[in-house]
Structure 1
Amino acid sequence: MATEKFEVKIQKNPPESKLTELGVRTWPKWGCGPSKFPWEFTATETMFLLDGKVKVYVDGYDESFEIGAGDLVVFPKGMKVTWDVTKAVNKHYSLEK
């Protein structure tokens, strides 16, 4: 899977018990409409996508991967990407302290 070499962890449709254990529903929310923009993760970020679809391009690689509604995703600190939001995104997120 392409995400393994990028050190991105994706869990598709995790059980509600896992979301509760992590406190996902108490995390802040963020959203945006269809757009394309560069992003650098300045902290390890865990997110749970409530809605939407994003094609993620990691700097330095030709490949991309998609994340979408129902995905629990962990991006490592320092990763630089371009987000291509193809369907409006609404997500909960948590930044590692």
Structure 2
Amino acid sequence: MARIVFTPQLRRFVETPEVQTSCQTVREGLEAAFAVNPRLRGYVLDDQGHLRANVVIFVDGRRLREFRLLNEPLGPDSVVHVLQALSGG
């Protein structure tokens, strides 16, 4: 089963459960996590359902390049890391 893992920084604001899922795409995996904690959705997706500008997703160590459909396929052993992008100086 694919694993969806959230960055510890998000835990300051909302519960971020690690989710194991048999979902086929990143979006489906995220929806499984949002089912566990609906408040998490607002921290990861904007009001149009697109990935927020300050969030980065890696699938099996590769940065996700498509931010709207989130249709990157997941394999049975995939690991998805959802991170807040850091900025500042």
Query: What TM-score do you get using the length of structure 1 for normalisation?
Result: 0.30
Higher strand share: 1
**Rg (Cα) greater in structure:** 1
Query: What TM-score do you get using the length of structure 2 for normalisation?
Result: 0.32
Higher helix share: 2
